[in-house]
Structure 1
């Protein structure tokens, strides 16, 4: 008996992943495991384009609405939860469908990243940030090159966040981050369906989605989150669809101007997503409404 199949449905924002995934799940007895770094958050529904109530009812979904906006959620945590959900789905004789557009989540799971289990160290990070402010980011990068030349070769000196993380892992665990970042692919036959459309069509769909979000009350959703004490510095609140409305909520710009900024930033995000998708294993390019997509479960 061969390995069970894990089908990943990936693609840029607004390409049509959710609708196709729900239809496929219903056809093959599947369950959807989200690979979206923002749909994990409760109370953030409109700006994250969460599946609708109808879609959630049509197929079981995992890793949606599992954290509050101010709760920490790491890549390692995502990987652990997603692999556990997939294993549970397979054990029950169902078909796992990994669906989303967060490239790092997808790559970590499908490529089998072995992520260092060193939790963030706020005090240490603050100290390293102070050193960078005093001595320059290059000084920290040089320090990393001394203890972990392999990591330093892969991280630009200007990427202070990654330099600090690599130093943090070494200083806490005594092992280099490069030694810990090996690859052990998951025990599944992976099939990665990359949904594609004409770039201008995706932009039009993304713009229409922004308009629909605003009409559905996105500004009120963001204002409500702020009223409940969630600050702009949180990863959840600084994400696409939320931070762009800050000037409007603070009386510095019109809603129309913020909407245009959100559309512009969404287009930029769509362009960046492709770099992640190209690296995923066993890629097949599909058009969401193209002939034959229903053969995916055959």
Structure 2
């Protein structure tokens, strides 16, 4: 693998359980690089197993950034992630090392690699609560209609089922008076980007994901979820409603058997894997690596 020496930025992306972490550590050694996480759940402290954070040995083997940034009940925005990621990339480059942006959260990856100019509108709790109440009362479709009236481009991009993003787009419009779509411009990054999309055959990927779920259960995932709930972190939080955690709510509330929740987690992980590709294929300077690629080691 050859990289030009003037400010490269390597993005290593791919679906859950494809093998990003092992390859990232291997490339960090080979390229004198540092790993910058692009995972929306690994930013939360106390959530180790369900988020598949790199192990202590992996973190010792290569520098990792943007892991364990906030508590599970702390708001963490896309804009905050982008600011931290760009600062980390610049710091790694200033040290004369290669930044490796590694993860599977497509929106995080796109925001950084495509140079999104994100509206800096702070969360408005009262407004969000009002919009959420409206969605619960009248249905998400009505809220989506409101967005389509004031920002048809954002409505088209978000779709009618993502209530959280619909609320955010309406929040930005109601605070600024400007559609969020007109505020989301692009600014090219001053780096030589190379995006490597790791892929595997679908059935192999599902099998790997299922095996990882079983390993998480053996490692104590259920106890981790119990501990978070006992500490007062509610299911309404983005951290607790994420993949690997919300699936255990029925079990902890005595509504179903543990095995049913485990099977639900496997099923939801497969669904998540299918959706991830929609983000990856839009990323710049993209190439795909499949098993057997001569550079895929680790």
Residue in 2 that maps onto 1:232: 235
Change (3 A) 1:223 1:24: same
Instruction: Return the alpha-carbon distance in structure 2 between the equivalents of residues 185 and 161 of structure 1.
Output: 28
User: Matched residue of 1:279: which SS?
Assistant: coil
For residues 122-141 of structure 1, the aligned pairs below 5 Å read: 122-132=125-135, 140-141=143-144
Instruction: Return the alpha-carbon distance in structure 2 between the equivalents of residues 55 and 2 of structure 1.
Output: 26
User: Matched residue of 1:221: which SS?
Assistant: helix
CA RMSD of aligned residues (A): 2.0
Q: Report runs of 4+ in structure 1 exceeding 6 Å deviation.
A: none
Contact 1:231–1:237 under 8 Å retained in 2: yes
Contact 1:3–1:187 under 8 Å retained in 2: no
Residues 50-94 of structure 1 show CA distances to partners (whole Å, capped at 9, x for unaligned) of 101100000000001111111110000000000000000000101
Residue in 2 that maps onto 1:41: 44
User: Matched residue of 1:37: which SS?
Assistant: coil
Instruction: Return the alpha-carbon distance in structure 1 between the equivalents of residues 247 and 56 of structure 2.
Output: 26
Change (3 A) 1:41 1:257: same
Residue in 2 that maps onto 1:102: 105
Is 2:154 aligned against 1:164?
no
Deviation at 1:290, TM superposition (A): 2.7
Deviation at 1:146, TM superposition (A): 4.7
Change (3 A) 1:251 1:182: same
User: Matched residue of 1:179: which SS?
Assistant: helix
Residue in 2 that maps onto 1:199: 202
Change (3 A) 1:128 1:246: closer
Instruction: Return the alpha-carbon distance in structure 2 between the equivalents of residues 181 and 225 of structure 1.
Output: 35
User: Matched residue of 2:189: which SS?
Assistant: coil
Residue in 2 that maps onto 1:11: 14
Is 2:62 aligned against 1:62?
no
Is 2:227 aligned against 1:208?
no
Specify which of 82, 86, 90 is matched with residue 83 of structure 1: 86
User: Matched residue of 1:292: which SS?
Assistant: coil
Instruction: Return the alpha-carbon distance in structure 1 between the equivalents of residues 296 and 75 of structure 2.
Output: 37
Q: Which has the higher mean CA deviation after the structures are superposed, 167-176 or 221-230? A: 167-176
Deviation at 1:216, TM superposition (A): 0.6
Instruction: Return the alpha-carbon distance in structure 2 between the equivalents of residues 75 and 235 of structure 1.
Output: 13
Deviation at 1:145, TM superposition (A): 4.5
Residues 150-182 of structure 1 show CA distances to partners (whole Å, capped at 9, x for unaligned) of 434544455543333222212212322121111
Deviation at 1:251, TM superposition (A): 2.0
Is 2:163 aligned against 1:189?
no
Residue in 1 that maps onto 2:278: 275
Change (3 A) 1:189 1:152: same
Change (3 A) 1:155 1:85: closer
Residues 37-61 of structure 1 show CA distances to partners (whole Å, capped at 9, x for unaligned) of 0111111111111101100000000
Contact 1:33–1:99 under 8 Å retained in 2: yes
User: Matched residue of 2:212: which SS?
Assistant: helix
Change (3 A) 1:54 1:289: farther
Instruction: Return the alpha-carbon distance in structure 1 between the equivalents of residues 43 and 135 of structure 2.
Output: 32
Contact 1:16–1:288 under 8 Å retained in 2: no
